[in-house]
Amino acid sequence: MSVPRKIYMDHTAGKPIDSRVLEAMLSYMKFFYGNPFSIHSFGEEPRKALDEARIKIAELINAERKESIIFTSGATESNNLAIKGVANRNADRGKHIITSSIEHMSVLNPCKFLKTKGFNVTFLPVDSYGVISLESLERELKDDTILVSVQYANGEIGTIQPIKEISEIVHRKNAYLHVDATAANGLIPIDVRKDGIDLLTLSSNDMYGPKGVGALYIREGVRIEPILHGGGQERGLRSGTENVPGIVGFGKAAEIAKKEMREESERLSRLRDKLIRGLLESVPYSFLNGHPTMRLPDNAAVRFSFIEGESILLSLDMMGVAASSGSACTAKTLEPSHVLMATGLKHEEAHGSVLFTLGRQNTEEEVDYVISIMPDIVKRLRAISPLTPKELMSNV
Ligand code: PMP
């Protein structure tokens, strides 16, 4: 089988911008450069564009009103605003925050920072599939718990959380629920009203929009304080001139996702299942990371015993395939992924993980190609790995 072209299967790390999105953005760079805050006519078009994008994003998540959407510079900022903003504004009610042990660093680190400022933080455990323990959540919620922050789905192992059940438990104790939907938005339907979500983090690039743009949904009535102070844009919750072209692109990406998500996610799920099955069947001592069914449509996370994920990635790269060993944000460290460790894997098991995340451009032919090259790559690496047991050497 020949390599059709370079194969990109690292869509959680970054997605190409949709050409329709780029098209929508261009005139806001070339012609409509006015400030949306301006009173004169140059402000009019950008102001209208912000409004339209806000409506499209509100529609994607079924928010009650467009004003519930606050534009930010991306998921990291949205997570920081949600967590620090709620903590600072509600400290009079309590100083306890709950999150999970498999969150992205942009949730874990604000929580750790707040610990240094006198807040108590509980990190919930997950089971071997990466599902948050509801019993622990119920047990840990106290009268002084003001916020629970959990992700909709995990980009590294694909596991989707039972958000509605989590929300019911959280609201029985009158705490707020913040959900980081960065890995899930544009892939699975999210309904903040049905799911009972108080704050939701969204990211543009994860929906084939431009990088450096995101949003925080804030339900009406949620008490929150800004972390950026300045000119008072975004209802005073996020000062700074809005990135109009980026936001227009984000809005267009949300509109496309709403229309095309269902069909595309079905297609991706079929490719994902074929890839997972193909790898597990053709490579001995290979295992799936994350949940087998409560799983993002784009995510095939597989670990191969006795070898390092990084060496597999280099071999794949030489064969024209780009994949990842986990979160792009932690890829630079040699520490095993905190997500995989939280699911109970040993260091050496976590190290052999490879993450394929599929996208709009991937085809069945590409999936077949990856399945066809993997057994030889793994065999060659195992033959030189000190971790391969001698008695298995001949048939792995
Ligand atoms: N949350 C999750 C679940 C993520 O996967 C990421 C990384 N894509 C982020 C937050 C942070 O996103 P960004 O680096 O775009 O701010």
Do 172 and 27 belong together in one domain? Answer: yes
Give the up-direction half-sphere exposure of residue 207: CA atoms within 13 A in the CB hemisphere: 37
Give the up-direction half-sphere exposure of residue 386: CA atoms within 13 A in the CB hemisphere: 1
What token pair was written down for 242?
């809005």
So which residues are the catalytic ones?
329
Do 287 and 193 belong together in one domain? Answer: no
Q: What is the pLDDT of residue 394?
A: 72
Rounded to 5 degrees, what are φ and ψ at 125? Answer: -80, 165
Residue 35 lies inside a defined structural domain of this protein: yes
Ligand 1 center from residue 212 Cα (angstroms): 11
The contacts of residue 329 (CB under 8 Å, 6+ apart) are 104, 105
The closest residue, in CA terms, to atom 12 on ligand 1 is: 75
Do 284 and 349 belong together in one domain? Answer: yes
Do 182 and 279 belong together in one domain? Answer: no
Residue 199 lies inside a defined structural domain of this protein: yes
The 3 state secondary structure assigned to 336-358 is: CCHHHHHCCCCHHHHHCEEEEEC
Ligand 1 atom closest to 153 (CA):
3
Residue 2 lies inside a defined structural domain of this protein: no
What token pair was written down for 340?
């995989």
Q: Are 67 and 235 in contact (CB under 8 A)?
A: yes
Ligand 1 atom closest to 211 (CA):
15
| Residue to probe by mutation, ligand 1, list 10, 201, 213, 329, most atoms within 8 Å of CB | 329
Do 217 and 270 belong together in one domain? Answer: no
Q: Of 192, 226, 257, at which residue does a domain stop? A: 257
Helix/strand/coil for 305: coil
Ligand 1 center from residue 183 Cα (angstroms): 7
- Beta-bridged to residue 302, according to DSSP, are 288, 354
Do 189 and 270 belong together in one domain? Answer: no
The contacts of residue 309 (CB under 8 Å, 6+ apart) are 303, 325, 326, 351, 352, 353, 354
| Residue to probe by mutation, ligand 1, list 83, 104, 132, most atoms within 8 Å of CB | 104
| Residue to probe by mutation, ligand 1, list 99, 106, 154, most atoms within 8 Å of CB | 106
Q: Are 178 and 198 in contact (CB under 8 A)?
A: yes
Q: Are 68 and 58 in contact (CB under 8 A)?
A: yes
Do 89 and 238 belong together in one domain? Answer: yes
Residue 1 lies inside a defined structural domain of this protein: no
Ligand 1 center from residue 376 Cα (angstroms): 33
CATH number at residue 302: 3.90.1150.10
Q: Are 134 and 161 in contact (CB under 8 A)?
A: no
Q: Are 354 and 302 in contact (CB under 8 A)?
A: yes
Q: What is the pLDDT of residue 325?
A: 85
Q: What is the pLDDT of residue 330?
A: 47
Residue 90 lies inside a defined structural domain of this protein: yes
Do 189 and 295 belong together in one domain? Answer: no
Ligand 1 atom closest to 76 (CA):
16
Tell me the residue range of the domain where 44 lies.
19-257
Count of structural domains, the chain: 2
Ligand 1 center from residue 378 Cα (angstroms): 30
The closest residue, in CA terms, to atom 10 on ligand 1 is: 75
Question: Pocket around ligand 1: residues whose beta carbon is below 6 Å from it?
Answer: 74-76, 104, 106, 151, 155, 180, 182-183, 203, 329
Do 46 and 98 belong together in one domain? Answer: yes
Q: Which residue has the tokens 């949904």?
A: 217
- Alpha helix stretches (DSSP H) within the chain: 19-30, 44-60, 75-90, 105-115, 134-140, 163-172, 192-195, 244-282, 309-318, 338-342, 347-351, 364-383
Do 243 and 327 belong together in one domain? Answer: no
Do 220 and 331 belong together in one domain? Answer: no
**Residue 61: closest CA among 197, 227, 220:** 197
Burial 172-209 (b: 16+ CB within 10 A, else e): ebebbbbbbbbbbbbbbbbebeebbbbbbbbbbbbbbb
What token pair was written down for 80?
């920081």
Do 103 and 54 belong together in one domain? Answer: yes
What is Dmax (Cα atoms) for the chain? 78
CATH number at residue 101: 3.40.640.10
> For each of the chain's 396 residues, which pLDDT tens digit applies?
555 579 999 999 999 999 999 999 999 999 999 999 999 999 999 999 999 999 999 999 999 999 999 999 999 999 999 999 999 999 999 999 999 999 999 999 999 999 999 999 999 999 999 999 999 999 999 999 999 999 999 999 999 999 999 999 999 999 999 999 999 999 999 999 999 999 999 999 999 999 999 999 999 999 999 999 999 999 999 999 999 999 999 999 999 999 999 999 999 999 999 999 999 999 999 999 999 999 999 999 999 999 999 999 999 999 999 999 865 544 455 678 999 999 999 988 898 999 999 999 999 999 999 999 999 999 999 999 999 988 777 777
Ligand 1 center from residue 285 Cα (angstroms): 31
Q: Of 229, 257, 285, at which residue does a domain stop? A: 257
Q: Are 248 and 53 in contact (CB under 8 A)?
A: yes
Residue 154 lies inside a defined structural domain of this protein: yes
Q: Of 227, 257, 287, at which residue does a domain stop? A: 257
Q: Are 15 and 187 in contact (CB under 8 A)?
A: no
